[in-house]
Amino acid sequence: MKIGIDISQIVYQGTGVANFTRGLVEAILKYDKNNSWTFLFYSLRQNLDPELEKKIFDSNHKLIKWKLPPTFVSVVSNNLHKITKLLTFNFKFLTSLDWFITSDWCEIPLDQVNKTTIVHDLVFKRFPETVNQKILRTQELRLNHVKREEKIIFCDSLTTKNDLIRYYQIKSERIIVNYPGVNLIKPTENQINQTLKKYKINKPFLLSVGKIEPRKNLSQLIDAFKKLNNHSLTLAIVGIQGWDTSVNQLIDTKEKNIKFLGFVNDQELYSLYSACVAFVFPSLWEGFGYPLVEAMNLNTPIICSDILPFREIAQNAALYFDVSNPQDLINKIKNIVSDNQLRKKLTENGKIRAKLFNWKNYYNILIKTLS
Protein backbone atom coordinates (compact mmCIF):
# COMPACT_ATOMS: atom_id res chain seq x y z
CA MET A 1 0.00 0.00 0.00
CA LYS A 2 0.93 3.63 -0.49
CA ILE A 3 0.00 5.56 2.65
CA GLY A 4 0.31 9.26 3.42
CA ILE A 5 0.16 10.86 6.86
CA ASP A 6 0.18 14.44 8.13
CA ILE A 7 2.79 14.61 10.93
CA SER A 8 2.86 18.39 11.41
CA GLN A 9 1.63 18.19 15.03
CA ILE A 10 4.94 16.57 15.97
CA VAL A 11 6.66 19.91 16.63
CA TYR A 12 4.54 20.95 19.63
CA GLN A 13 6.84 19.50 22.27
CA GLY A 14 5.31 18.93 25.67
CA THR A 15 1.86 18.07 24.32
CA GLY A 16 0.12 14.72 24.11
CA VAL A 17 -0.54 15.02 20.39
CA ALA A 18 3.17 15.62 19.69
CA ASN A 19 4.14 12.60 21.79
CA PHE A 20 1.57 10.52 19.95
CA THR A 21 2.72 11.66 16.49
CA ARG A 22 6.37 11.03 17.28
CA GLY A 23 5.58 7.58 18.63
CA LEU A 24 3.50 6.67 15.58
CA VAL A 25 6.18 7.80 13.13
CA GLU A 26 8.85 5.85 15.02
CA ALA A 27 6.59 2.76 14.98
CA ILE A 28 6.02 3.03 11.23
CA LEU A 29 9.75 3.34 10.56
CA LYS A 30 10.53 0.43 12.88
CA TYR A 31 7.85 -2.09 11.97
CA ASP A 32 6.71 -1.42 8.39
CA LYS A 33 8.80 -3.33 5.85
CA ASN A 34 6.13 -3.70 3.15
CA ASN A 35 4.34 -0.40 2.57
CA SER A 36 5.42 2.92 1.11
CA TRP A 37 4.79 5.99 3.30
CA THR A 38 4.61 9.70 2.46
CA PHE A 39 5.09 11.94 5.51
CA LEU A 40 3.64 15.46 5.16
CA PHE A 41 5.08 18.19 7.39
CA TYR A 42 4.20 21.86 7.28
CA SER A 43 5.38 24.75 9.45
CA LEU A 44 6.57 28.29 8.84
CA ARG A 45 9.04 28.70 11.69
CA GLN A 46 9.62 25.28 13.22
CA ASN A 47 11.69 22.47 11.79
CA LEU A 48 11.34 18.73 11.90
CA ASP A 49 13.79 17.03 14.24
CA PRO A 50 16.91 16.39 12.06
CA GLU A 51 17.39 12.95 13.63
CA LEU A 52 13.85 11.90 12.70
CA GLU A 53 14.18 13.43 9.24
CA LYS A 54 17.32 11.34 8.67
CA LYS A 55 15.49 8.20 9.78
CA ILE A 56 12.74 8.88 7.23
CA PHE A 57 15.32 9.52 4.50
CA ASP A 58 17.29 6.36 5.36
CA SER A 59 14.12 4.28 5.30
CA ASN A 60 13.46 5.25 1.66
CA HIS A 61 10.04 6.66 2.51
CA LYS A 62 9.04 10.08 1.19
CA LEU A 63 8.97 13.34 3.12
CA ILE A 64 7.09 16.41 1.84
CA LYS A 65 7.76 19.70 3.61
CA TRP A 66 5.72 22.87 3.19
CA LYS A 67 7.05 26.19 4.45
CA LEU A 68 3.53 27.26 5.44
CA PRO A 69 1.95 28.29 8.76
CA PRO A 70 -0.48 25.69 10.19
CA THR A 71 -3.15 28.40 10.45
CA PHE A 72 -3.04 28.95 6.68
CA VAL A 73 -3.27 25.21 5.98
CA SER A 74 -6.14 25.00 8.45
CA VAL A 75 -8.08 27.76 6.70
CA VAL A 76 -7.54 26.18 3.27
CA SER A 77 -8.37 22.69 4.53
CA ASN A 78 -11.12 23.34 7.08
CA ASN A 79 -12.73 26.75 6.45
CA LEU A 80 -12.47 26.64 2.64
CA HIS A 81 -12.85 22.88 2.41
CA LYS A 82 -15.53 22.82 -0.31
CA ILE A 83 -13.84 25.53 -2.38
CA THR A 84 -10.44 23.84 -2.13
CA LYS A 85 -12.01 20.64 -3.42
CA LEU A 86 -13.00 22.45 -6.61
CA LEU A 87 -9.55 23.86 -7.31
CA THR A 88 -7.57 22.09 -10.00
CA PHE A 89 -4.52 21.30 -7.87
CA ASN A 90 -6.53 19.69 -5.05
CA PHE A 91 -3.32 18.33 -3.48
CA LYS A 92 -2.69 16.24 -6.60
CA PHE A 93 0.72 15.07 -5.42
CA LEU A 94 -1.12 13.01 -2.77
CA THR A 95 -3.74 11.48 -5.06
CA SER A 96 -1.59 8.48 -6.03
CA LEU A 97 -1.92 7.17 -2.47
CA ASP A 98 -4.17 4.34 -1.36
CA TRP A 99 -4.79 6.01 2.02
CA PHE A 100 -4.14 9.38 3.61
CA ILE A 101 -4.19 9.84 7.40
CA THR A 102 -5.27 13.37 8.29
CA SER A 103 -4.00 15.16 11.37
CA ASP A 104 -5.51 16.37 14.59
CA TRP A 105 -5.71 19.88 13.08
CA CYS A 106 -6.49 19.82 9.35
CA GLU A 107 -8.91 17.84 7.20
CA ILE A 108 -7.13 18.04 3.83
CA PRO A 109 -9.64 17.71 0.93
CA LEU A 110 -8.87 14.58 -1.10
CA ASP A 111 -11.70 12.97 -3.05
CA GLN A 112 -9.58 10.46 -4.97
CA VAL A 113 -7.99 8.85 -1.89
CA ASN A 114 -9.36 6.76 0.95
CA LYS A 115 -9.05 8.88 4.05
CA THR A 116 -8.79 8.06 7.71
CA THR A 117 -8.06 10.21 10.73
CA ILE A 118 -7.14 9.82 14.39
CA VAL A 119 -9.40 11.58 16.90
CA HIS A 120 -7.74 11.99 20.28
CA ASP A 121 -10.59 13.53 22.24
CA LEU A 122 -13.75 15.62 22.08
CA VAL A 123 -12.90 17.96 24.93
CA PHE A 124 -14.23 20.88 22.89
CA LYS A 125 -17.67 19.25 23.03
CA ARG A 126 -17.67 18.18 26.66
CA PHE A 127 -15.95 21.23 28.17
CA PRO A 128 -16.04 24.04 25.57
CA GLU A 129 -15.34 26.66 28.25
CA THR A 130 -11.89 25.14 28.82
CA VAL A 131 -10.85 25.29 25.17
CA ASN A 132 -9.43 28.18 23.18
CA GLN A 133 -12.15 29.53 20.87
CA LYS A 134 -9.91 29.20 17.83
CA ILE A 135 -9.29 25.53 18.60
CA LEU A 136 -12.98 24.99 19.27
CA ARG A 137 -14.03 26.43 15.90
CA THR A 138 -11.30 24.56 14.03
CA GLN A 139 -12.18 21.22 15.61
CA GLU A 140 -15.89 21.71 14.96
CA LEU A 141 -15.21 22.39 11.28
CA ARG A 142 -12.80 19.49 10.99
CA LEU A 143 -15.05 16.94 12.69
CA ASN A 144 -17.97 17.84 10.45
CA HIS A 145 -15.76 17.14 7.42
CA VAL A 146 -14.51 13.95 9.07
CA LYS A 147 -18.07 12.76 9.60
CA ARG A 148 -18.83 13.06 5.89
CA GLU A 149 -15.55 12.00 4.29
CA GLU A 150 -13.56 9.58 6.40
CA LYS A 151 -13.92 5.93 5.55
CA ILE A 152 -12.44 4.90 8.89
CA ILE A 153 -11.87 6.86 12.10
CA PHE A 154 -9.34 5.75 14.70
CA CYS A 155 -9.59 6.96 18.29
CA ASP A 156 -7.46 6.51 21.40
CA SER A 157 -10.16 5.12 23.68
CA LEU A 158 -13.62 3.59 23.83
CA THR A 159 -14.71 6.77 25.61
CA THR A 160 -13.80 8.88 22.58
CA LYS A 161 -15.52 6.39 20.27
CA ASN A 162 -18.71 6.77 22.28
CA ASP A 163 -18.35 10.56 22.13
CA LEU A 164 -18.08 10.43 18.33
CA ILE A 165 -21.28 8.40 18.19
CA ARG A 166 -23.02 10.67 20.69
CA TYR A 167 -22.07 14.05 19.24
CA TYR A 168 -21.77 13.25 15.52
CA GLN A 169 -23.99 10.19 15.05
CA ILE A 170 -21.15 8.35 13.32
CA LYS A 171 -21.83 4.65 12.86
CA SER A 172 -19.96 2.43 15.28
CA GLU A 173 -18.48 0.22 12.57
CA ARG A 174 -16.60 3.20 11.10
CA ILE A 175 -14.75 3.82 14.36
CA ILE A 176 -11.77 1.72 15.51
CA VAL A 177 -10.39 1.98 19.06
CA ASN A 178 -6.60 1.70 18.99
CA TYR A 179 -4.66 2.35 22.19
CA PRO A 180 -1.38 4.26 21.62
CA GLY A 181 1.90 3.06 22.95
CA VAL A 182 4.58 4.86 24.94
CA ASN A 183 8.27 4.87 24.08
CA LEU A 184 10.44 5.45 27.12
CA ILE A 185 13.74 4.42 28.63
CA LYS A 186 13.85 3.91 32.38
CA PRO A 187 16.35 6.31 33.96
CA THR A 188 19.40 5.29 35.91
CA GLU A 189 19.83 6.20 39.57
CA ASN A 190 22.46 8.75 38.55
CA GLN A 191 20.07 10.41 36.07
CA ILE A 192 17.38 10.59 38.73
CA ASN A 193 19.75 12.21 41.22
CA GLN A 194 21.00 14.72 38.63
CA THR A 195 17.44 15.73 37.76
CA LEU A 196 16.41 16.25 41.39
CA LYS A 197 19.56 18.29 41.97
CA LYS A 198 18.97 20.42 38.86
CA TYR A 199 15.44 21.36 39.90
CA LYS A 200 16.22 21.50 43.64
CA ILE A 201 13.59 18.94 44.52
CA ASN A 202 13.80 16.93 47.72
CA LYS A 203 11.93 13.72 48.40
CA PRO A 204 9.12 13.07 49.09
CA PHE A 205 7.31 14.93 46.34
CA LEU A 206 4.16 14.68 44.25
CA LEU A 207 4.37 15.04 40.47
CA SER A 208 1.80 16.41 38.03
CA VAL A 209 2.30 16.61 34.25
CA GLY A 210 0.33 18.52 31.64
CA LYS A 211 -0.04 21.75 29.71
CA ILE A 212 -0.87 24.71 31.99
CA GLU A 213 -4.45 25.44 30.96
CA PRO A 214 -7.93 25.31 32.56
CA ARG A 215 -8.81 21.77 31.46
CA LYS A 216 -5.90 20.37 33.45
CA ASN A 217 -7.57 21.52 36.69
CA LEU A 218 -4.31 22.47 38.38
CA SER A 219 -6.00 25.07 40.56
CA GLN A 220 -7.83 22.30 42.44
CA LEU A 221 -4.62 20.34 42.89
CA ILE A 222 -2.78 23.39 44.20
CA ASP A 223 -5.59 24.28 46.61
CA ALA A 224 -5.67 20.70 47.90
CA PHE A 225 -1.91 20.66 48.33
CA LYS A 226 -1.94 23.91 50.30
CA LYS A 227 -4.67 22.59 52.61
CA LEU A 228 -2.60 19.49 53.32
CA ASN A 229 -0.22 21.80 55.15
CA ASN A 230 2.48 19.15 54.88
CA HIS A 231 5.75 21.09 54.87
CA SER A 232 7.85 17.98 54.28
CA LEU A 233 6.10 17.33 50.94
CA THR A 234 6.77 19.12 47.63
CA LEU A 235 4.51 19.44 44.58
CA ALA A 236 6.39 19.48 41.24
CA ILE A 237 4.39 20.49 38.15
CA VAL A 238 5.76 19.81 34.66
CA GLY A 239 4.16 21.45 31.63
CA ILE A 240 4.34 24.22 29.08
CA GLN A 241 2.15 27.33 29.17
CA GLY A 242 -1.18 26.76 27.45
CA TRP A 243 -3.54 29.14 25.69
CA ASP A 244 -5.12 30.81 28.73
CA THR A 245 -2.73 33.31 30.31
CA SER A 246 -5.08 33.78 33.27
CA VAL A 247 -3.52 30.66 34.79
CA ASN A 248 -0.24 32.56 35.11
CA GLN A 249 -1.32 33.41 38.63
CA LEU A 250 -0.90 29.72 39.45
CA ILE A 251 2.69 29.77 38.23
CA ASP A 252 3.39 32.92 40.23
CA THR A 253 2.60 31.17 43.53
CA LYS A 254 4.95 32.10 46.38
CA GLU A 255 4.64 28.69 48.02
CA LYS A 256 8.17 27.37 48.50
CA ASN A 257 7.15 23.73 48.21
CA ILE A 258 5.26 24.17 44.93
CA LYS A 259 7.57 24.13 41.93
CA PHE A 260 6.59 24.83 38.31
CA LEU A 261 9.30 23.27 36.16
CA GLY A 262 7.98 24.19 32.70
CA PHE A 263 9.16 21.96 29.86
CA VAL A 264 11.60 19.20 30.78
CA ASN A 265 13.27 16.73 28.44
CA ASP A 266 12.24 13.08 28.36
CA GLN A 267 15.09 11.82 30.51
CA GLU A 268 14.28 14.37 33.21
CA LEU A 269 10.55 13.63 33.00
CA TYR A 270 11.08 9.90 33.42
CA SER A 271 13.44 10.59 36.32
CA LEU A 272 10.74 12.65 38.04
CA TYR A 273 8.15 9.89 37.55
CA SER A 274 10.58 7.36 39.00
CA ALA A 275 11.43 9.45 42.06
CA CYS A 276 8.05 10.87 43.11
CA VAL A 277 5.92 9.36 45.86
CA ALA A 278 2.90 9.58 43.55
CA PHE A 279 1.75 11.03 40.24
CA VAL A 280 -1.39 13.23 40.39
CA PHE A 281 -3.47 13.82 37.25
CA PRO A 282 -6.45 16.07 38.10
CA SER A 283 -7.60 16.79 34.53
CA LEU A 284 -11.29 17.50 33.88
CA TRP A 285 -11.20 15.50 30.65
CA GLU A 286 -8.77 13.67 28.37
CA GLY A 287 -9.24 11.43 25.38
CA PHE A 288 -6.53 9.07 26.57
CA GLY A 289 -4.03 10.31 29.13
CA TYR A 290 -0.44 9.68 28.09
CA PRO A 291 0.96 10.50 31.54
CA LEU A 292 -1.05 7.63 33.06
CA VAL A 293 0.71 5.11 30.82
CA GLU A 294 4.09 6.76 31.41
CA ALA A 295 3.55 6.53 35.16
CA MET A 296 2.46 2.87 34.99
CA ASN A 297 5.53 1.99 32.89
CA LEU A 298 7.79 3.65 35.45
CA ASN A 299 6.23 1.95 38.51
CA THR A 300 4.64 5.15 39.81
CA PRO A 301 1.46 5.03 41.92
CA ILE A 302 -1.33 7.24 40.53
CA ILE A 303 -4.05 9.55 41.82
CA CYS A 304 -6.35 10.84 39.09
CA SER A 305 -9.75 12.38 38.52
CA ASP A 306 -12.64 9.95 38.35
CA ILE A 307 -13.53 10.30 34.67
CA LEU A 308 -14.42 7.64 32.11
CA PRO A 309 -11.21 7.69 30.02
CA PHE A 310 -9.01 7.38 33.13
CA ARG A 311 -11.07 4.45 34.43
CA GLU A 312 -10.69 2.84 31.02
CA ILE A 313 -6.92 3.29 30.82
CA ALA A 314 -5.73 2.85 34.42
CA GLN A 315 -8.47 0.61 35.87
CA ASN A 316 -7.13 -0.77 39.18
CA ALA A 317 -3.76 1.00 38.91
CA ALA A 318 -4.99 4.33 40.32
CA LEU A 319 -6.82 6.03 43.17
CA TYR A 320 -9.70 8.10 41.80
CA PHE A 321 -11.02 11.33 43.27
CA ASP A 322 -14.26 13.21 42.65
CA VAL A 323 -13.47 16.58 41.02
CA SER A 324 -16.70 18.00 42.47
CA ASN A 325 -15.50 17.24 46.01
CA PRO A 326 -12.30 19.16 46.91
CA GLN A 327 -11.88 17.25 50.17
CA ASP A 328 -11.75 13.96 48.29
CA LEU A 329 -8.49 14.89 46.56
CA ILE A 330 -6.97 15.93 49.89
CA ASN A 331 -7.95 12.60 51.42
CA LYS A 332 -6.56 10.59 48.51
CA ILE A 333 -3.22 12.40 48.70
CA LYS A 334 -3.03 11.70 52.43
CA ASN A 335 -3.82 8.03 51.82
CA ILE A 336 -1.23 7.46 49.14
CA VAL A 337 1.55 9.37 50.90
CA SER A 338 1.08 7.53 54.19
CA ASP A 339 0.31 4.00 52.96
CA ASN A 340 3.29 2.13 51.56
CA GLN A 341 1.24 -1.02 50.89
CA LEU A 342 -1.29 0.96 48.87
CA ARG A 343 1.47 2.45 46.73
CA LYS A 344 2.96 -1.00 46.19
CA LYS A 345 -0.41 -2.44 45.15
CA LEU A 346 -1.07 0.37 42.66
CA THR A 347 2.43 -0.02 41.24
CA GLU A 348 2.02 -3.77 40.71
CA ASN A 349 -1.36 -3.27 39.04
CA GLY A 350 0.18 -0.57 36.84
CA LYS A 351 2.91 -2.94 35.59
CA ILE A 352 0.22 -5.27 34.28
CA ARG A 353 -1.88 -2.51 32.70
CA ALA A 354 1.14 -0.89 31.03
CA LYS A 355 1.79 -3.96 28.88
CA LEU A 356 -1.43 -3.30 26.93
CA PHE A 357 -0.15 0.00 25.56
CA ASN A 358 2.65 -0.52 23.04
CA TRP A 359 3.37 0.78 19.57
CA LYS A 360 3.76 -2.61 17.91
CA ASN A 361 0.14 -3.42 18.77
CA TYR A 362 -0.94 0.00 17.54
CA TYR A 363 0.89 -0.37 14.24
CA ASN A 364 -0.48 -3.89 13.65
CA ILE A 365 -4.09 -2.80 14.19
CA LEU A 366 -3.60 0.26 11.97
CA ILE A 367 -2.18 -1.70 9.03
CA LYS A 368 -4.62 -4.60 9.39
CA THR A 369 -7.54 -2.15 9.29
CA LEU A 370 -6.25 -0.31 6.21
CA SER A 371 -5.37 -3.49 4.29
Mean pLDDT across the chain: 92
* Nearest CA among 138, 184, 146, 185 for reference residue 167: 146
Q: Given a cut of 60, is residue 342 above it in pLDDT?
A: yes
Alpha-carbon distance of 142 to 132, in angstroms, equals 15
User: Does 189-354 carry CATH code 1.10.10.10?
Assistant: no
Domains 2-179+358-370 and 189-354 share a fold: yes
What does the pLDDT read at residue 88?
46
Alpha-carbon distance of 315 to 58, in angstroms, equals 40
pTM of the model: 0.92
Q: Are 214 and 130 in contact (CB under 8 A)?
A: yes
Helix axes 133-149, 158-168, angle to 10 degrees: 80
Question: Which CATH number among 3.40.50.1440, 3.60.70.12, 3.30.420.40, 3.40.50.2000 corresponds to the domain 2-179+358-370?
Answer: 3.40.50.2000
Alpha-carbon distance of 76 to 228, in angstroms, equals 51
Name the strand (E) or helix (H) holding 260: strand 258-262
Q: Given a cut of 80, is residue 250 above it in pLDDT?
A: no
CA 198 vs CA 91, 191, 208, 261, 278: distances in Å = 48, 10, 18, 10, 20
Pairing of strands 2-6, 99-102: parallel
Taking only the tens place, the pLDDT of each residue in 132-152 is: 888 899 999 999 999 999 999
Pairing of strands 318-321, 36-42: unpaired
CA 161 vs CA 109, 153, 155, 164: distances in Å = 23, 9, 6, 5
* Nearest CA among 133, 126, 167, 264 for reference residue 208: 264
Alpha-carbon distance of 208 to 159, in angstroms, equals 23
What does the pLDDT read at residue 92?
66
Alpha-carbon distance of 299 to 278, in angstroms, equals 10
Residues 251-273 have a mean pLDDT of 88
Alpha-carbon distance of 247 to 251, in angstroms, equals 7
Q: Given a cut of 80, is residue 87 above it in pLDDT?
A: no
Q: Which of 33-42, 62-71, 92-101, 250-259 has the lowest mean pLDDT?
A: 250-259
Give residue limits of the domains in the chain: 2-179+358-370, 189-354
Residues 322-339 have a mean pLDDT of 97
Q: Given a cut of 60, is residue 89 above it in pLDDT?
A: no
